[in-house]
Amino acid sequence: MTDMTKGSAPSRRRQRFPEISTRAWEHPADRSGLVAMRKLSGFDDVLKKLAGLVSERSVRLMFLATAVKTSERQFPELYDMVRDAAYVLDLEKVPDLYVSQDPKVNAYCIGMETPVIVVTTGLVELMDEEELRAVIGHEVGHAMSGHAVYQTMLLILTNLATRVAWIPLGNLAIMALITALKEWFRKAELSSDRAGLLAGQDLQASMRALMKLAGGAHMAEMNVDAFLEQAAEYDRAGDLRDSVLKLLQVLPQSHPFAVVRVSQLKKWAESEEYRSILAGAYPRRGDDPDASVSAQWKAAAESYSQSVKDSKDPLMGLLRDLGNGVGTVGGKLRDTFTGAGRSNGSGNGSGDSDGGKNGDTQD
């Protein structure tokens, strides 16, 4: 833990969160699964068995042999950053931080019993001090939430899928699990983006770090507001066919797209939830055992429902119509995939417009 009396204090004052529970920053869809798993009898034993399938000790030895372990004498600024993030988020056991020689921009947290954070030289060279602070806080958030279990399960299931690929139904079942885990992990990334913001408490730096993942080091050529407009354009782009393409593009991904992450993080930073955390009103770890699983699942369902309501995506609009009644859905699908009604300002086109307005009013 950072000793604030020995010269390792943050370069600027930030709010500290004693006894903060990871539930404070976890996305509802991420938190619901975590709370449910933590309620399971013997869950810790399951984690240990999973960890045994991917040797945690061998991974640690590999990084000791091939990467640079940060300390007061090696990458001291990064060493102070991980200690500082642990101090702000009240994590007693500070994860080891390694710097790995790799031009690819990457950072990750591995290990379940003793998490290790790794950042690449490509990332260190790309980010400024405050951006690095947000990234390291993001990884500390992964460590605290126990997200490494997702990566372990994904690794095991992916390897299993290749072995049973010749069994059609068996492989389909495993691939369904993998797809579900990737959706879960994408929400876990949104959770850890929030943890990074809490650790650094600099929204602009957090958004810049995410923008650099998309556009590289040329920040003088980029603009946060323009990038957010790009995110809005992506959300509403095209028709139903484009919506399907976007869905197919995101399903294989373990991380949300950069424009989505920036948009989601800014939205959370402007929420009452974030303001309450900064004011000291947040869930404590001591209350974690009493967290209601059903309440968390309800929150996750409400989160997905709200995302459908807020989205400008044509497919999400179709889902809203389904919720309001199926009267216009068939016509919309027919017009979209046949091209009918595009040059005609009346008839089905007018009916669709009215249906959309009605749906918007009810939202």
Residues labelled catalytic: 139
- State the residue for tokens 């995110």: 231
Pick from 305, 348, 296, 295: nearest CA to 30: 296
Taking CA atoms, 281 is separated from 18, 22, 24, 278, 297, in Å, by: 11, 13, 9, 7, 22
| 257 in Cβ contact with 250 (< 8 Å) | yes
Pick from 75, 76, 61: nearest CA to 2: 76
CA 102/CA 219 separation, integer angstroms: 22
The DSSP 8-state label assigned to residue 95 in this structure reads P
Pick from 138, 102, 119: nearest CA to 210: 138
Q: What are phi and psi of 201, to 5 degrees?
A: 55, 40
What are 224's two structure tokens?
């946060």
Helix segments in 89-167, DSSP class H: 121-126, 129-145, 148-163
| 194 in Cβ contact with 265 (< 8 Å) | yes
| 148 in Cβ contact with 95 (< 8 Å) | no
3-state per-residue secondary structure call for 293-347: HHHHHHHHHHHHHHHHHHCCCHHHHHHHHHHHCCCCHHHHHHHHHHCCCCCCCCC
Q: What are phi and psi of 168, to 5 degrees?
A: -50, -55
Q: Which residues pair with 100 in a beta bridge?
A: 120
Q: Give the distance, in angstroms, between the CA of residue 330 and the centroid of all CA atoms in the same chain.
A: 35
